[in-house]
Structure 1
Amino acid sequence: MNIGCVQETKWVGSKAKDVDGYKLWFSGKSMYRNGVGILVDSELRDQAVEVRRVNDRMMAVKLVVGGFTLNIISAYAPQAGFDEEEKRRFWEDLDGVVGGIPPTEKLFIGGDFNGHIGSTSGGYDDEHGGFGFGVRNGGVSLLDFAKDFGLVVANSRFPKREQHLITFRSSTAATQIDFLLLRKEDKGLCKDCKVILSENLTTRHKLLVMDLGITRKKRKRVTDDLPRIRWGSLTLSSAQEMEEKLMAMGAWESRGDVSSMWDRTASCIRETTRDVLGVSRGRRGRRRGDWRSPGKGGSKESSVREVGRQQK
Structure 2
Amino acid sequence: MGKAHSPYQLPRLGTKREDTSSFLSARAQHGKQQLQKHKTNKPLRFGTWNVRTMCPGLVNLDPTKTKDIRKTAVIDRELERLQVDIAALQETRLPDCGSVKEKNYTFFWQGLSTNQPRLYGVGFAVHNRLVKAIHTPVAASERAISLRLNVKGGLLNIICVYAPTLAASAELEDKDRFYDSLQNVVNSFPVDEQLFILGDLNARIGSDHQSWPVCLGHHGIGNINDNGQRLLEFCSQNNMCVTNTFFSVKHRHRVSWCHPRSGHWHQLDFVLTRRQHINTVKITRTFHSADCDTDHALVISKVKILPRKTYSTRRPPKPKVSVTKMGMTENRETFRKAFTALCENEMGECRVDEKWNILKSNIYDCAIDSFGTKKFSNKDWVEQNETTLSPLLEEKKRALINYKNKPSQSSKDHLQHTKSVLQRESRRCANEYWSNLCSAIQNAADMGNTKAMYENIRVALGPNITKIAPLRSETGEPITDMTKQLERWVEHYSNLYSVEKPAHQVLEQIIPKHRELTELDTEPTELELSETINKLSNGKASGLDNIPAEVLKYNRDV
Identity over aligned residues, as a percent? 28
Match of 2:400 in 1: none
Q: 1:92 to 1:217 in 2, by over 3 A?
A: closer
* Deviation, structure 1 residue 159: 1.2
Query: What whole-Å deviation, never above 9, does each CA across 1:219-247 have from its counterpart, x for those lacking one?
Result: 9xxxxxxxxxxxxxxxxxxxxxxxxxxxx
Structure 1: which 4+ aligned runs deviate by more than 2 Å? 65-68, 170-173, 200-203, 215-219, 254-259
Query: What whole-Å deviation, never above 9, does each CA across 1:201-260 have from its counterpart, x for those lacking one?
Result: 5431000000011135679xxxxxxxxxxxxxxxxxxxxxxxxxxxxxxxxxx974398x
Aligned-partner residue type, residue 80 of structure 1: L
Q: 1:187 to 1:32 in 2, by over 3 A?
A: same
Aligned-partner residue type, residue 24 of structure 1: F
DSSP 3-state at the match of 1:143: helix
Aligned-partner residue type, residue 158 of structure 1: F
Equivalent residue for 2:120, pick from 5, 15, 34:
34
Distance (Å, rounded) in 2 between the aligned partners of 1:218 and 1:27: 28
Q: Is the 8 A contact 1:201 1:207 kept in 2?
A: no
Distance (Å, rounded) in 2 between the aligned partners of 1:166 and 1:140: 18
Match of 2:207 in 1: 119
Match of 1:10 in 2: 93
> Does residue 203 of the first structure (1) align with residue 289 of the second (2)?
no
Equivalent residue for 1:157, pick from 218, 238, 246:
246
Distance (Å, rounded) in 1 between the aligned partners of 2:197 and 2:292: 18
Higher relative contact order (CA 8 A, sep 6+): 2
Distance (Å, rounded) in 2 between the aligned partners of 1:67 and 1:4: 22
Aligned-partner residue type, residue 115 of structure 1: A
Match of 1:76 in 2: 162
Distance (Å, rounded) in 2 between the aligned partners of 1:42 and 1:165: 29
Unmatched tracts of structure 1, length 5 or more: 220-253, 260-312
> Does residue 66 of the first structure (1) align with residue 152 of the second (2)?
yes
> Does residue 215 of the first structure (1) align with residue 306 of the second (2)?
yes
* Deviation, structure 1 residue 20: 3.2
Q: Is the 8 A contact 2:123 2:145 kept in 1?
A: yes
Aligned length: 226
Q: 1:159 to 1:216 in 2, by over 3 A?
A: same
* Deviation, structure 1 residue 150: 1.4
Match of 2:108 in 1: 25
Distance (Å, rounded) in 2 between the aligned partners of 1:201 and 1:126: 35
Match of 1:55 in 2: 141
Aligned-partner residue type, residue 23 of structure 1: T
Equivalent residue for 2:234, pick from 122, 145, 148:
145
> Does residue 133 of the first structure (1) align with residue 221 of the second (2)?
yes
Q: Is the 8 A contact 2:150 2:307 kept in 1?
A: no
> Does residue 98 of the first structure (1) align with residue 186 of the second (2)?
yes
Q: 1:162 to 1:31 in 2, by over 3 A?
A: farther
Query: What whole-Å deviation, never above 9, does each CA across 1:153-196 have from its counterpart, x for those lacking one?
Result: 11111012211111111433321111001111211110000001
Match of 1:288 in 2: none
Q: Is the 8 A contact 1:5 1:74 kept in 2?
A: yes
Q: Is the 8 A contact 1:167 1:176 kept in 2?
A: yes
Aligned-partner residue type, residue 209 of structure 2: S
Distance (Å, rounded) in 2 between the aligned partners of 1:204 and 1:11: 19
Unmatched tracts of structure 2, length 5 or more: 1-83, 311-346, 355-558
Greater share of helix: 2
DSSP 3-state at the match of 1:142: helix
Q: What is the root-mean-square deviation in Å for CA atoms of aligned residues?
A: 2.1
Aligned-partner residue type, residue 21 of structure 1: N
Distance (Å, rounded) in 2 between the aligned partners of 1:25 and 1:63: 14
Aligned-partner residue type, residue 14 of structure 1: C
Query: What whole-Å deviation, never above 9, does each CA across 1:49-91 have from its counterpart, x for those lacking one?
Result: 2421111111101121234201111101111122111100000
Match of 1:169 in 2: 258
